[in-house]
Amino acid sequence: MNTILTAPTDHPLTGPDALDPTGPDGSPAAHEPHAPVLAPDGGLDHLDALEAEAILVIREIAAECRRPVLLFSGGKDSVVMLHLARKAFWPAPIPFPVLHVDTGHNFPEVLDYRDATAQRFGVRLVVASVQDYIDDGRLRERSDGTRNPLQTIPLLDAIEEGGFDGVFGGGRRDEDKARAKERIVSLRDEFGQWDPRNQRPELWSLFNPRHRPGEHVRAFPLSNWTELEVWRYIDREDIELPSLYYAHEREVFQRDGMWLAASAVTAPRAGEEVVTRTVRYRTVGDMSCTGAVESAAASNHEITLEVAASTLTERGATRADDRLSEAAMEDRKKEGYF
């Protein structure tokens, strides 16, 4: 761990993670969240209905679990989750810490954003480091160089060490078949593993986070959102994201139909030419397996229009780790992955 885990002894709303919602100078740490807008018929519009469901899930887990934590990588889905958590408890502060499993191959822009955002919102940031596990021999580098599959053990250890029993994740059902079959509130056994055959019904939006000692639940507030709905929400709420989500010039090379960033982590092989392209990232993960897409979209609104016209999913188009096998995501989830 790169931070000391001081586990709260009280309920999360009154424990040591319930920090004062002010910045270092005493000013408000963030503006008051936007209120929902009524549709012409007097009901909530589609985005507000999704927002309401996500806030319900966040409040339910915070109330039912003794020590929740939110997985926060600085990627757009985790940023939206953090934004929703602020809305769920406003004007009180977010009553739980955020956790990131750092592969050591993350984009520097995303790590800078992660640290600045945690400080801005006054939340405690817990970091588990894959590099630490490699350095002391608990993990070995993979032959393909990607570290995304290596995140599972540091994640499970961080959950156990922190005593976290309710873990918020940003997974969405439109991303992958394995995520599509998982419930919004998903039980993990004492080994942190997921059994697709042992899932609880969620009729009438009733969620059951009960678990035995040693087990925990994963909660996915964005389960029913699509990539387009995430971007429409980001655009509407004017949410700030890491700069690499927007069009910028970058030295890249093509491999397996994807533009990979030329870096110490992803060096081109013989015959792979490095070129400068205007690109952006649809998803941000380990640099070794996350590709960019050519794009001129430089604002939330322009990206929303671009995503609306796209025929490829973000993970299918830009994540090499999901191409390892047809069941790559499900295999990792069964082992305890996000």
Q: Report pLDDT digits (tens) over 11-51.
A: 444 344 443 444 444 444 455 666 665 566 667 899 999 99
The answer for residues whose C-beta is within 8 angstroms of residue 249's C-beta and 6 or more apart is 276, 277, 278, 279
Q: Is the whole model's pTM more than 0.75, yes or no? A: yes
List of domains in the chain:
46-228+331-335 (3.40.50.620), 242-320 (no CATH)
Angle at 258 between CA 255 and CA 262, to 5 degrees: 65
What would the pLDDT profile of 83-138 be if each residue is shown by its tens digit? 999 999 999 999 999 999 999 999 999 999 999 999 999 999 999 999 999 999 99
Return the pLDDT at 63. Answer: 96
For residues 223-234, give the mean pLDDT. Answer: 96
Is the pLDDT score of 323 beyond 50? no
Residue pair 127/2 in contact (Cβ under 8 Å)? The answer is yes
Return the pLDDT at 5. Answer: 40
Query: Measured between alpha carbons, how far is 30 from 34 in angstroms, rounded to an integer?
Result: 12
Query: Measured between alpha carbons, how far is 155 from 294 in angstroms, rounded to an integer?
Result: 32
Beta partners for residue 71, in sequence order: 99
